Amino acid sequence: MAGGWAMVPILICSAIALAIVLERCWTLRRAAVLPPGLGDEVRQWARTGKLDPGHLETLSNGSPLGELLAAALAVRRQPREIIKERIEDTGRHVVHRMERYLNTLGTIALIGPLLGLFGTVIGLIRMFMEVMGGGIGDPAKMAGGIGEALICTASGLTVAIPAYVLHRYFRSRVAGYCVQMEKQATALLDDLTLSAAAAPARAPRRAPAPSTPSPG
């Protein structure tokens, strides 16, 4: 606590930032967001028609990609525009959950230097007040105020710099996941559209009714 009471909010911010980083590292694992082979497996299910509500619910609860694909399969018999709209709506919710707590991490990266600067100002004020009361004959008093100011500044930057770097890293990871999920959803949408277009062509045609012979 050599930095004074201004270190308290900096330490609180550092604890919150550490908790967010650990939670996001676990949640945004690639295997948890984009399970390997899931897109190909779901497209195979769609081709064979082996889909039921329980199957779709399990798929939706398994991963963000599974939730996106399950939303498309839930309306697979609808026109392409409706399926695409459902994918977009579900995608917004999925991205919002993947970006959870990132705004808080960005806020900590922003206010960290400000808290350090605040502690610096408090330390300098204390130093000048002690100088005014006791004169400049005691260098220990000046050193204490300067030390408090420098400790707060360094602590604020120590919290802010990693928080900013990790905030940008998680943002870029989410953006990369969104591109991959969009590719998988588009491939499934194309399969569903082609299957719907091929269904009427596979339907058996009725034989023409025999013509009624004219009398006479």
Rounded to 5 degrees, φ, ψ at 69 are -70, -35
Considering the entire predicted model, what is its pTM?
Answer: 0.80
> Rounded CA gap, 137 and 38, in Å?
74
The predicted pLDDT at position 2 comes to: 59
Residue 209 falls within a domain, yes or no?
A: no
Mean pLDDT of 61-83: 89
What percent of the chain has pLDDT above 90? 43
Residue 94 falls within a domain, yes or no?
A: yes
pLDDT band of residue 172 (cuts 50, 70, 90) is very high
The mean pLDDT value of the chain amounts to: 83
Residue 214 falls within a domain, yes or no?
A: no
CA distances from 53 to 47, 61, 164, 214 (A): 16, 12, 43, 56
Q: Is 195 exposed, middle or buried (0-12, 13-18, 19+ CB in 10 A)?
A: middle
Residue 208 falls within a domain, yes or no?
A: no
Q: Tell me: pLDDT of 214 over 60.
A: no
Mean pLDDT of 23-29: 94
Residue 207 falls within a domain, yes or no?
A: no
Residue 215 falls within a domain, yes or no?
A: no
Mean pLDDT of 82-92: 92
Query: Which range has highest mean pLDDT (50-54, 71-75, 127-131, 137-141)?
Result: 71-75
Residue 127 falls within a domain, yes or no?
A: yes
Q: Tell me: pLDDT of 208 over 60.
A: no
Identify whether the C-beta of residue 146 lies closer than 8 Å to the C-beta of residue 123: yes
Q: Tell me: pLDDT of 210 over 70.
A: no
Mean pLDDT of 70-80: 87
Identify whether the C-beta of residue 116 lies closer than 8 Å to the C-beta of residue 151: no
Residue 167 falls within a domain, yes or no?
A: yes
Provide the domain limits for residue 79: 7-199
Number of domains, the chain: 1
> Rounded CA gap, 7 and 73, in Å?
53
